[in-house]
Amino acid sequence: MRSRAVGDIERLVHAAGAGDGVLAESIESIGAEAVARIVMAEVVDRADLRGCPPVAVSFRLRTEGTITEMIVDKSGSGVTAHPATAAAASRTDATVEQSLVEVVRGVFGPRGAGSSATRVLRWRDIDGPESFGRPALAFEPVRRLLDSIDRPYHTSLAEWCVRSGSDKWGVHQYPQHYERHFDPIRDRPLTILEIGVGGYDDPHRGGESLRMWKRYFPRAAIFGLDIVDKTALSTPRLTVLQGDQSSATDLERVVRATGPLDIIIDDGSHISAHVITAFHTLFPALRDGGVYVVEDLQTSYWPHFGGKSGAYNDISTSMGFLKAMLDGLNHEEIDGREPAPTDAAIKGMHFYHNMAFLEKGENRDGGAPSWLSRI
C-alpha cells in the first residue's frame, strides 16, 4: 500500500496537467500547508546549492484568502525547507511571493505549462547604491531556487548525471542515447523502474542514478530494485525496493508494488541469465508505448557474467537473446517460423554501444500480399 504522501504527490502531478480549477481543488483537499511542504521539498532537491553562500529565503505561497510561508535555509550542514516562524522570517535574505497554484504547476506540470505571472521578489539590504555595483551574495542561490521552478526541463541528462554522481556519463556515454528516446516523454507522469541501485553491500550507499532520473523526469514516480536492502535511500517520488532480479517471485512482488510501468532499465547484475529472467517477468508489466532498456551488454561476451566469447547467437547470452527477437519484428513475413510471445508486442529495437532499447507496442502491420511469390 502506498503512503498518503506518495498519493498526494501523484495527485498533484496529475492535477498540475489540468486546469487551474482542478489544481486549486486538489490543493484545498490536500491542504495548503501539506502542499507547500511537498513542493518546497522538491524545489530544494532540484536546486543544487552546492558552492553557494549561506542564505535564507522566504517563500510566501498564496491560496484563496491565505498565505503559507516556508523558509529555505542553506547552511554548512545542508539545505532544508521548513514552515516559517516569525523570528526566521525576519532574518531572510529574500522573499518570494507567488500563487501556490502557479508554483505547483511550475514544479509538477508538463513542459511549457509554468508561469511566474504572480511572482513578486523582494531583497533585503538592496537600497544602497553599492547594490547596483556588485551582485548580492544571495542572488545566485535564489536564482537556482527559482530556476528549479521555472526551468525544470532545462538541464540535460548528462548534467544531471554529473550532479548526481551517476556513472552513466563519463565511465559510459549513455545520456546521448537516453535523451534521444526519453526527451519526447520527459514531461509525462511516468512510472519508472531501474534494477540496480549501486553502492554494493552498504545499505546507505548508492541511488545516484535513481536521483538523476527523479530530477530528469520531474513528474515521474521512480522505483529502484536491489538485492541489498537499500530502502533507507527512499525519498519523495523515489521508492527503493529489495529483491533479487534472478527471482521471478521477487520481480512479481515488485510489479505489485509499482503497478504498470512506462520505463524499465536493467542496470543490475549484468549476468545473462538474470537479464533474461528479468525481461520475461517484467516485460508483460510494461505499458504499450513503454520502453525496456538493458545496459552494459558487453558482459554478454564475458564468461564470468554467463556470456560467451565467439558464440554470438547463443540465446543463453544477453545479446543472443535480444538478437533473436529482431526477427520477430518481421514475424508476419516469415513462413514456418515458430511464433515467439514477443513477436506481436515489440514494435522497435535500437542497439547502441553496450545498450539496447526495446519499444513495446502492437506489431501487426500485416505481411506481404498473398499473390507475391516468396520462393
How much is the CA Rg of the chain, to the nearest whole Å? 24
CA angle 86/90/92 to nearest 5° reads: 120
Is 236:42 a contact under the CB 8 Å cutoff? yes
Q: Decide: 128 and 92 in contact? Cβ < 8 Å.
A: no
* Cell representation of residue 296: 552494459
Per DSSP, the three-state class of 190 is coil
Helix (H), strand (E) at residue 180: helix 175-182
Burial zone of 171 (CB within 10 Å; 0-12 exposed, 13-18 middle, 19+ buried): exposed
Say how many CA atoms lie within 13 Å of 120 toward its Cβ.
Answer: 6
Q: Which of 177, 270, 274, 331 is catalytic?
A: 270
Question: What is the three-class DSSP state of 224?
Answer: strand
Grouping H, G, I as helix, E, B as strand and the rest as coil, residue 291 is: strand
CA dihedral (81, 83, 85, 86) positive or negative: positive
Q: Which amino acid is at 280?
A: H
Q: Catalytic site residue 270?
A: yes
Got the DSSP string for 106-170? HHHSPTT----TT-EEEESS--SGGGGTS--TTHHHHHHHHHHHH-TTTS-HHHHHHHHT-TTBT
List residues with catalytic annotation: 270
